[in-house]
Chain A
């Protein structure tokens, strides 16, 4: 029996199918990401699981119990909202204690668990502060502590890191994963950032206009995308002409292409432009195969200047063909 099961879940707003026939099984302890472009129904799906949006059709089962229409305050789930949603008139400690208070946990036990949860997110020193006295990343961590302190069976995170700067974001992703592994809570995270989905999840659920289009491990989603749309959504890709007259389109990722001295590869190409990304160089090239994007590790050797003629090479094993008729 799966831990959480979404069974043909739908939410329609009049003619708008915000979520359409979504089915998903989540195992205990799994970290799942809902990934997709803006407006594809990620938040709506999460809100149905949380109980703030009523499903039009389909069922939600948590540990075998049907919770499709159960009131939100009986589900006992931990939720981290995109806007943090901290209680502005309560201190950090009171924010975190609120859920325990609702569970009628006695005072001493409450204090102990609040302290423990705040230590887990490295905020023990800020227990007496008000949310307005905290930075964005600290508020984020209070929200997380408030959600996990009630020991929910399921943690729902709606773009929890979207308001953070790149550095803090990476640190928080790491922290999120560590905390999730320490506590072992089954987690569903909504994001539209593929790097974030890849770095923290066990499996990625790709959504597109209300429907699930692929469920796989991050590696599989990147290496074997189910459609050209997904391929382009999770990374850059180059189209190669079919090998035979009626053969399928072939794709190759920019980092799988190598640049060699002119004449020594499979096809010559001219550097149109180059971009320095720190650890990598990104090249735009023009070749008889069409325009190409290539990513090369910055190994310290000088980069190819625009106008230089180089040769493209690749390993045939890294070529991908996409399922017929996919878009």
Chain B
């Protein structure tokens, strides 16, 4: 294995620091005893964390977001797997058009989508519906799964599937036992990317969430427009902590490398 030069190490350290600095700061601010966004000195306090749990609507919106991201990421990947299989393998007219269609939400501003969906939801009476909100998220996050899956599937050796067929496997068995395990890194990576994008989505969601379906980022945005106090930092710190804990847990159980990068 080639050793990294000292310059490469320095460079990477700087990049990681640059990316982590805001997270570290926000987590530190969360422990402040003051009423303003400030770094805690020697006095650390949990008062803002307590305050978060005094706002049950924050907890509800967090659970909403988790559900929404889980459901829409799963639907998005469920759609993206067959679609990218067809696009990378198929030999039918309109393949390119199909790919363009699936990736097009990437170029539409979420603001525009939000306004458009707001009107549509009002018309069909879908305001406040969790299902329709999920579908809206599916539209904007599917391209991320598509990109990853198409990358995972191009250059994939079809003769491996042919070998399984020749050994007597049915098409379904070939998909379950051969194709799926081979594209698993693309599937799991795509799901994760979708989850994060859904969890993070504000611009469109602001227009189409109702009080019953409000998501955490929308809730935070609305709270922050009214008052700026360290509670926002505490919410952020909680999300960061939960994410890190989940990543650690997954790594312990499955090995993130294996699931996201593949075995080779």
Contacts and interface: CB of A to CB of B under 8 A. Distances in A.
A92 to B, nearest CB: 14
Contact of A52 (B157, B162, B264): B162
- Give the interface SS of chain B, mostly helix, strand, loop or mixed: helix
Interface string A70-109: 0011111111011101111100000000110011000000
B166 A72 contact: yes
Contacts of B167: 73, 98-99, 102, 146, 150
Given A78-B166, A86-B163, A88-B263, 17 more contacts: A51-B165, A51-B166, A72-B162, A72-B165, A77-B166, A81-B163, A85-B159, A85-B163, A88-B160, A89-B263, A98-B164, A99-B167, A99-B168, A102-B173, A130-B263, A132-B264, A146-B167
Contacts of B182: 88-89
Contact of A75 (B163, B164, B166, B173): B166
A327 B160 CA distance: 39
A230 interface: no
B24 interface: no
B159 A83 contact: yes
Contacts of A83: 157, 159
Q: Which of A73, A79, A130, A146 has the most CB of B within 10 A?
A: A73
A99 B159 CA distance: 15
Interface in B123-144: none
Interface residues of B, number: 20
A74 B165 CA distance: 9
A79 B168 contact: no
Contacts of B166: 50-51, 72-73, 75, 77-79
B167 to A, nearest CB: 4
Nearest to A79: B166
A223 B167 CA distance: 40
B159 to A, nearest CB: 4
Contacts of A89: 181-182, 263
11 contacts: A50-B166, A72-B165, A73-B168, A79-B162, A83-B159, A85-B159, A88-B264, A98-B177, A102-B173, A103-B168, A130-B263
A217 to B, nearest CB: 29
A116 B162 CA distance: 24
Contacts of A132: 263-264
A75 B166 CA distance: 7
A77 B263 CA distance: 30
B178 interface: yes
B112 interface: no
Interface string B55-79: 0000000000000000000000000
Contact of B157 (A75, A85, A150): A85
Of all A-B residue pairs in the complex, the 8 with the closest CB atoms, nearest first, are A99-B167, A102-B168, A85-B159, A85-B163, A81-B159, A79-B166, A73-B165, A89-B181
Given A132-B263, A132-B264, A85 B168 contact: no
B228 to A, nearest CB: 51
Contacts of A88: 160, 182, 263-264
Interface residues of A, number: 27
A258 B263 CA distance: 59
Given A73-B169, A87-B178, A79 B163 contact: yes
A85 B160 CA distance: 4
Given A88-B182, A89-B181, A150-B168, A81 B264 contact: no
A233 to B, nearest CB: 27
A52 B182 CA distance: 21
Contacts of A76: 168
A81 B157 CA distance: 11
Interface string A41-52: 000000000111
Contact of A73 (B157, B170, B178, B181): B170
Q: Which of B162, B163, B171, B263 has the most CB of A within 10 A?
A: B163
Nearest to B263: A89
Interface in B171-193: 171, 173, 177-178, 181-182
A60 to B, nearest CB: 15
B160 A87 contact: yes
Contacts of A75: 166
A145 B178 CA distance: 19
Contacts of A85: 157, 159-160, 162-163
Interface in B1-56: none
B240 to A, nearest CB: 34
Contacts of B157: 83, 85
Nearest to A73: B165
A65 to B, nearest CB: 16
B169 to A, nearest CB: 5
A81 B162 CA distance: 9
Interface string A292-323: 00000000000000000000000000000000
B161 to A, nearest CB: 8
Interface in A57-77: 72-77
Interface in A138-184: 146, 150
